[in-house]
Chains A and B, each alone.
Chain A
Amino acid sequence: MYYIKFDMGGEIGTNATKINEVKDIIISFVKLKRAQRIYLPNNEILQKLHIELVHKFKKFFMEDESISLLITPTDVYYAKSLVYSNPDRSESLAFQLYSNGINGITFYKGVEDKELFDLISILNIDMLDEDNIEDDIVTLMWSREFNFIEYSLRDDYFVQNPHANDIFDFIQRDRKDRQEKSGDKDLEFDPEELEPPPVIPHNEIALTDDEIEKIRSEVDYEDESALQIGMLDVLLELLFHERNQEEISNYINIIEKFVVNAFVEGNLRIFNALIMRYSEHKNGVFSSSDVIVSLYDKIISDLSSEPRIDELVDMLNTTYHQGLNDVLLYLLNLKKDIVPLLLRRLPDLKHVSYRRVFCEAIAQNGYDYVDLIGSKLQNAPEVIIKDIIYILGKVKNPKALEYLSKAMRFPSKELRLEAVSSIGRYRDDNSEKYLVEALLDADLDVRTSALRNIVAHGSFKTVNSLINFIGTDDFNRKSFQEKRRFFLALAKLAGPAIVNYFEDLLLNQKYQSVQIENEIKMCVIAALEMIGDHASLDVLKKAKAKIKSALSEQIENAIRNIQK
């Protein structure tokens, strides 16, 4: 908004082509405005209209520096020519602007796509919506700080009372004719402070560099959570001291709305900070106040209710800016019994990352709900089943393993893979049993993952099951790479204890075919190299003396590597 008078814009003698171009721009503008109300942001028609409008502006600005439009209640003028008219007030762009006090709008060369789109978004905001009680088109345009769009306001917008004092008269008037002094009492200061003022030494009012820096830091950085937490402190303290029943319920009402508002406004970070502070207080300074303690529970219960969880899901589906940690912390602040609600709404979450956060929260509170969670393995889309398997891996209830072993029989490889890693999170005999079973899985990735998980467990008990597996037809059919991985896993699990067994395989064992013999021996050599102790070295040296084949080079390399 500028204090400079708005001029009608456009040079005298502006030709008809220009005027038609402006008309065209306004038509596009109005079309885009309507489309934006109907379509989602990524809609093709909408995007096409947007590009079209930007293009028309660009074309106009190839010759001109700006477009200034004059706004009247029904019409829009450019260079004194009518370029838009609509008598229907509910639809008229002119009326919408004019009734908000705007009598002129100027677009400058360089106007950005984003600015145009935002301007139209502002014009499309429903001002009757209760959330917008503090803003209108003009305040929103002001806050948006457009660089290339400017508007001017009617001077008469605020004329309310034509008989009121006039400021221009007032400043002309002589002092003698001035109206009475006001009588309103005030407490701005103590009349005692009005004794004769002292003389101030100059150096007391000069700002030092440090002080300037202090101001600068306060000006540059605004700590929103400090403001909110400070407010909570005040409210709780006032409630704590209040004795009047009516006032108490007033404060309860305010505090509840205040805390819940952080959630309603979608500021989960602030909500978490508030609830943490509240919980500190209710367990600390205000722990003796039943009112304060029970209000806390009331707030948490409210936010753990079904409609609130629904609100949360809607919020997460429409915003992208919530920190994952904030969402998780928020969910963990709620009551534990939200698990069934979260499970039910899980499939409705659009963003994968928020779904993972839900999973995390379900898992952390899910111990007692393992059967409910397990029951979700059926009749759900594959992605959700995958999430459920993930959750089962994290609920820390060994009962989950039964469900996971069932999941190992899903036809989808993805699901079995997820199941293996979930099983891997449990460290007991059952989980190892399932993992060894998974070594027989039809899919290589699943088997590899199972092997990796077995190794990660580092349990010696598994070694026997693995050794038994070697030499079976199933094993022999596997690729060399997989066999090698298997042997390395074995070496890692068993360490020096398995060297004797390896010696046997290398020097004494009989094999079905030369190919299998070579493959297994190569694997053993690699495994021995990995163990790398004296015993392994001895075995390799013995082998070197005994084996004269393609393998001898590999053996020599292994020996050299160990010796290094």
Chain B
Amino acid sequence: MSREDIQKIKKRLNFDKQAIIHIYRICKLLVTHEPDNEIFSKTVHNLLYAISKILEQEGVFSLLFVKSDIYLNKARIQQNITSFSASEYLIKLFISRNIGGFEFYVLPDSRELLLFFYSLIKYSPAEGVDAIKVFEDLLELSGIRNIRVLPTQAVEQVIPDEVQVLRDYKKKTLVIYQSTIRFLKDALSSKDYISGIDMRNAKRLVNQMVDLSGHNVENFSFWGLSAIKNFDEYTFNHSVNVCVLAIAFGNALGLPKRRLAELGLAALFHDIGKLTIPKKILNKPGQLTSEEWDIMKQHPLFAMKLLFNMHGYSESGLKKVIVALQHHMNYDFSGYPRLILEKKLHLFSRIVAIVDTFDAMTTDRVYQKALKPDDALRRIISLASKKYDPVLVKAFVSSIGLYPPGTLVELSDGSIAVVLKSNPQYENIERPIIKIINSPSERLKSDIINLAETQSLQIRKSLDPEEVGINTPHYLFNE
């Protein structure tokens, strides 16, 4: 991705994603309805509006369907869970028609657009014919002159990510991550944290994370940042990881930037109530007595009072309060604190409840060995509906992948690899992009392989990095 592309994508304000969803709706309806049906008018109107916004900015509207991605004017469209099924459908549709995509320079009218998609749905290319040629004739016959079809293209032709951009991106994520941990440590270690937390700086850091999470970078995933464990004291490291995971997850859910920032901030401070718990209890080596547990269970309430007194009652302040208060309540309200009037947990609390557990389970502690990420996911899945929102659990697993970034795995050929990034299609949930660390076959060493494209290789099982003696973040962040 180049600087110009980033600028371009930023200006699109989601009109790209909206266009994809509208095209998807139209295509699905065209399977069962004639194009002159009234049913289309609203969606086509919305589609034309989104397209006109893009045309206004960029002068051309060119969609290319390549492998698992859609490129608008050569810049990859960011996917999220809610736009994903639409993209998947359209990619399959275009690939099955042997057509790479389409473009136009002037805004087509609604009749043209509908007829174009209608032709696409109804048309099936015969073996061995030039699909583009045949389809062009078809368009000519229907009087569609403004829309041009494009041949299929390989990924490489579409603009590969620049190496320097990738390197800078990784470096920047680490810098922000480290800065956030240090910020939190400095802020919370000082005695007067009650008045002393500089929310402005917290917000700046979280905003930068939100920006970083929004870029789809080749072979690297923002989720991977949370694979860094025990870099600093647990509370700080954990809080920042929960923040990273919440932003990554919120992004996958399609939350807009500003709400992502609120979510990230709330996640960062979800455990702030622990500050008021005596260190004696917090760091007690042995079992806690039941009185001590009772005190521990006060941390959401402590947090609520603390945050209210600290940062007032603004709307974003309130979201921090609600997340800190609700993150242990559980989906079925069996957790704590127990409140009878609560009927529905806030979306942010349901998100943080999941990522909070995920990070805690996957971190080594004095009294407990870390679970491997995929095992932690299985645990979380088994507790869906009881502790976690079942729909969000599904969304979480499908966006982080069954082997989350940072998982150490053994492949079917005996190689050892680190998961770099998950693939978005559901059928590839067990087939992420990996980096080989160690392989019986010399050729593969330090290769990056997309298992979705290499069906001959599978993940056999996940490994415990400690047993193998591998520092997984090293492979995520270094070339």
Contact = CB atoms under 8 A, between A and B. Distances in A.
The judgment on whether A and B are partners is yes
Interface of A: 1-5, 101, 108, 133-136, 138-139, 142-143, 145, 147-148, 150, 153, 155, 158-161, 164-168, 170-176, 178-189, 191, 193-194, 197-200, 202, 204-207, 209, 211-212, 214-216, 218-219, 222, 224, 226-228, 230-231, 233-234, 236-238, 250, 254, 257-258, 261, 265, 285
Given A183-B365, A185-B281, A197 B394 contact: no
Contact of B361 (A158, A189, A205, A214): A189
Closest 5 CB pairs of A and B: A182-B234, A188-B360, A197-B378, A261-B313, A158-B179
Contacts of B317: 134
B341 A237 contact: yes
B308 A167 contact: no
Interface string B309-345: 1011111111101100100100000000101111110
Given A178-B230, A218-B347, A147 B200 contact: no
Given A134-B203, A185-B296, A214 B391 contact: yes
A258 B313 contact: yes
B128 to A, nearest CB: 36
A233 B366 contact: no
Contact of A197 (B178, B271, B368, B382): B382
B346 A171 contact: no
A352 to B, nearest CB: 30
Contact of A254 (B175, B305, B314, B328): B305
A101 B317 CA distance: 24
Interface in B157-212: 165, 168-169, 172-175, 177-179, 182-183, 185-186, 199-201, 203-205, 207-208, 211-212
B106 interface: no
Given A147-B10, A207-B81, A187 B364 contact: no
Interface of B: 3, 6-7, 10-11, 13, 81-82, 85, 165, 168-169, 172-175, 177-179, 182-183, 185-186, 199-201, 203-205, 207-208, 211-212, 215, 228, 230-235, 237-238, 253-255, 257-259, 261, 271, 274, 281-285, 288, 296-297, 299, 301, 305, 308-309, 311-319, 321-322, 325, 328, 337, 339-344, 346-347, 356-357, 359-361, 363-368, 371, 375, 378-379, 381-383, 391-395, 397-398, 402, 426, 429, 465-466, 469-471, 473-474, 476-478
B186 A219 contact: no
B383 A133 contact: no
B427 to A, nearest CB: 9
Contact of B169 (A3, A150, A230, A237): A3
A155 B233 contact: no
Contact of B284 (A136, A148, A185): A185
A175 B50 CA distance: 51
Contacts of A147: 10-11, 13
Contact of A222 (B259, B284, B469): B259
B42 to A, nearest CB: 17
Contacts of B232: 165
Contacts of B274: 184
B288 to A, nearest CB: 7
Contact of B175 (A145, A155, A186): A155
A170 B288 CA distance: 32
A405 B470 CA distance: 95
B197 to A, nearest CB: 10
Contacts of A209: 85
A206 B426 contact: yes
A219 B257 CA distance: 11
Contacts of A230: 322, 342-344, 346
Contact of B283 (A145, A185, A214, A238): A185
A204 B398 CA distance: 11
Given A145-B257, A179-B230, A172 B82 contact: no
A233 B230 contact: no
B50 to A, nearest CB: 15
A108 B7 contact: yes
Contacts of A178: 230, 471
9 contacts: A3-B169, A153-B204, A171-B471, A184-B283, A185-B282, A186-B238, A207-B81, A234-B342, A257-B308
Contact of A227 (B258, B284, B319, B466): B319
Contacts of B282: 184-185
A1 B363 CA distance: 31
Given A178-B471, A209-B85, 10 more contacts: A138-B207, A158-B205, A182-B363, A188-B357, A211-B395, A212-B82, A222-B259, A226-B344, A234-B342, A236-B341
A161 B182 CA distance: 8
B262 to A, nearest CB: 10
Instruction: Name the residue among A199, A200, A211, A237 with the largest chain B CB count within 10 angstroms.
Output: A200
B394 A206 contact: yes
B314 A265 contact: yes
